[in-house]
Structure 1
Amino acid sequence: MRRYFNIDHYTEFCSGSPVLCPSTYQIEDLLTKDVPNWSFKYRAFRFVLDLVCAVSALPLIALMAMVLWVVNPFLNPGPVFFRQFRVGQFGQPFRMWKFRTMMPSEIESRDPNVALEEERITILGGMLRRSRLDEIPNLINVLRGEMSVVGPRPDAASHVEYYSGKIHGYSERHRVKPGITGLAQVEQGYVEDETATKVKTKYDNLYVERSCGRMDLYILYRTIGVVTSGIGAK
């Protein structure tokens, strides 16, 4: 127990560490486990983290939904929530909850080769995206067991179908539950093309192979900085 209070115990996972650098690895080095061999302690840590965060967030989600319901007609016309098909653990599809930030469209998800339609982002939506508050409803998916707080970020089903046949190791990202935040999000930022997705694939598989409580704490710590600075948001 004493080692958990020793700062040296966490130095392996810190900014600039080669352990967290995707160029340190060949992609084959990150695909050795069909399913991560997590210890009971780590599984318990993730379960408690997910449960506490999800349950604690429910009042906040309800409060924000009420505020947005009042404000949306003026600054973000349309529904409060947006639900989109994403791909979860072992390739299982699910509907991911978010606060809507863009003008409604008949097309649920954009083509993988099309840039983000920034002109559709509303004034209020831009504020929600920069602060990452639009992702708070993801905790509904955590409570439903479809996501975790930390893990590879889930992609839209159309993107998964496209990149699975083009990027080696892409499908292996789905060996664990997707997360609200992940190693790729805090180290790389927003991704929207094939070259960047190849890098994200290495980050995500690096997380799958090396995941542990210390790495999760590092990701959560970095997430605070990303959220408060707005770095990597679109």
Structure 2
Amino acid sequence: MALLTLPFQIVVGLAVVALLPALERWGWGFWFSLNSVRINTITAIVVSFVVVIVTQRRLLRHPGVQILAYVVPTVTSAFLFAIAVLFFSREGYSRQVLFSGYLLTLGWCFVGYFVGIRYRRIKLAIVPVGNAGVLLDNNTSASEIRELTKPDLQGVRYDGIVADLRSNELTPEWERFLAECTLNHIPVYHVKQISESVTGRVQIEHLAENEIGSLLPSMAYSIFKRICDFFAVLLTFPITLPIMALTAIAVKLDSPGPVLFIQNRVGQGNKTYKIYKFRSMCLDSEKDGARLAQSEDIRVTKVGKFIRKTRLDELPQFFNVIKGEMSLIGPRPEQRAFVEKFEDEIPFYIYRHVVKPGITGWAQVVQGYASDADDTRIKIQHDFYYIKNFSLWLDILIVFKTLKTIFTGFGAK
């Protein structure tokens, strides 16, 4: 377990990824003549490495994360950002040392994963009363969940105990057992808390007053995110605008009708705004009224199938982001007709409008598009998980998952 601690990863890791390349390039005693090039290079490696380690540890807190899949993206993104800062600030640096630091960071992360994989599987004990047993159906490779038969751990070491703390079936014997576990520094969790971490969904049938508070997103991060959205869109325009132009030509040549599909959607604060998309369906596809997209929907054109699968149809929403009506990441906006329908069928549905809608979101990368009320109920639970865990780290995870979605076409209809 010690191999996975943050101090070990930072201290020993930095000695490997920053010190070794410097020694190889500049020799022993290089620290006695630290010029600007050496300082800039070592600083870039140190900062990038720390960002990588902290980011990966944060990503692991969310369900369904196989950190092995994110080693290359996180390491590459951190070092590219460091290079961009050095390049635009016109600061000198050693490409050889920086590249060696990049390769060693990749190696350190891969070795750390395979060395520590035996310690990463969490072992939880379930108290068999109330709703705690539902976790047995959601058991994943990242955790080992065992059901207790009596108030005794029988000498087995567990990372935590899970119980339905609100159940009337919790007997005095079980309550005493849970108190003893706490006294022995074994964490005791409420089933709902663990269920959210395993499924990536927040149950919304009943919300206590303290849970409403926990679903209030950070205002400071909302402002920071708005700034990041604005500049991210502007910086990517040299790439996205030519792609938009080619997509517009393909849509126009494929079928009659306008290039853009403009429709009223419900945004933050339950306010209506106009969303922009490339048209992926035939003309007058909703002449008989609004309805959710289905798998193999006959209304979708040939080009429409491709741009929906690759999410190219969403690119015009960058202008919605510039206008402040949307964010790059957030719950997907729905039509007013669907909103009014789901408000009657799904408890607390309207609360998803507490944040800006997004071009991509947690529900999209985990579940895909919803095609009926039952799918939408699950989708809302994913949206509530996003709102409750509203943070930079979850947004970074969604970005990585979105890139995977673009290449695999997951969830397209």
TM-score normalised by structure 2 residue count: 0.51
Q: CA RMSD in A?
A: 2.8
Percent identical: 30
Aligned pairs for 1:42-81 within 5 A = 42-81=221-260
Letter in 2 for 1:71: A
Per the alignment, residue 11 of structure 1 pairs with 60
Change (3 A) 1:136 1:84: same
1:63 CA displacement: 2.5
User: Unpaired runs of 5+ in structure 2?
Assistant: 1-46, 66-141, 143-195
Letter in 2 for 1:125: G
Letter in 1 for 2:406: V
Q: Using the alignment, how far apart are the partners of 2:288 and 2:263 within structure 1? A: 8
Tell me whether 1:230 sits opposite 2:409 in the alignment.
Answer: yes
1:49 CA displacement: 2.4
Structure 1 or 2, whichever has the larger Rg, is 2
Classify the secondary structure of the residue corresponding to 2:276. Answer: strand
Q: Using the alignment, how far apart are the partners of 2:272 and 2:214 within structure 1? A: 19
Aligned pairs for 1:78-89 within 5 A = 78-89=257-268
Which digits, 9 at most, give the CA deviation of each residue in 1:101-151, with x for residues without a partner?
111117379444785782121111111111110001111111100011111
Classify the secondary structure of the residue corresponding to 2:332. Answer: coil
Instruction: State the aligned residue count.
Output: 233
Q: Using the alignment, how far apart are the partners of 2:247 and 2:59 within structure 1? A: 40
Q: Using the alignment, how far apart are the partners of 2:64 and 2:253 within structure 1? A: 42
Per the alignment, residue 118 of structure 1 pairs with 297
Q: Using the alignment, how far apart are the partners of 1:79 and 1:227 within structure 2? A: 25
Per the alignment, residue 12 of structure 2 pairs with none
Structure number with the bigger relative contact order (C-alpha 8 A, sep ≥ 6) is 1
Task: Confirm or deny: 8 A CA contact 2:217 2:355 kept in the other structure.
Answer: no
Select which of 139, 147, 150 maps to 2:326: 147
Select which of 32, 39, 43 maps to 2:212: 32
Q: Using the alignment, how far apart are the partners of 1:117 and 1:217 within structure 2? A: 31
Change (3 A) 1:51 1:20: farther
Per the alignment, residue 169 of structure 1 pairs with 348
* More off after superposition, 98-107 vs 218-227: 98-107
Classify the secondary structure of the residue corresponding to 1:160. Answer: helix
TM-score normalised by structure 1 residue count: 0.86
Task: Confirm or deny: 8 A CA contact 2:266 2:333 kept in the other structure.
Answer: yes
Q: Using the alignment, how far apart are the partners of 1:106 and 1:226 within structure 2? A: 26
Q: Using the alignment, how far apart are the partners of 2:286 and 2:204 within structure 1? A: 37
User: Unpaired runs of 5+ in structure 1?
Assistant: none
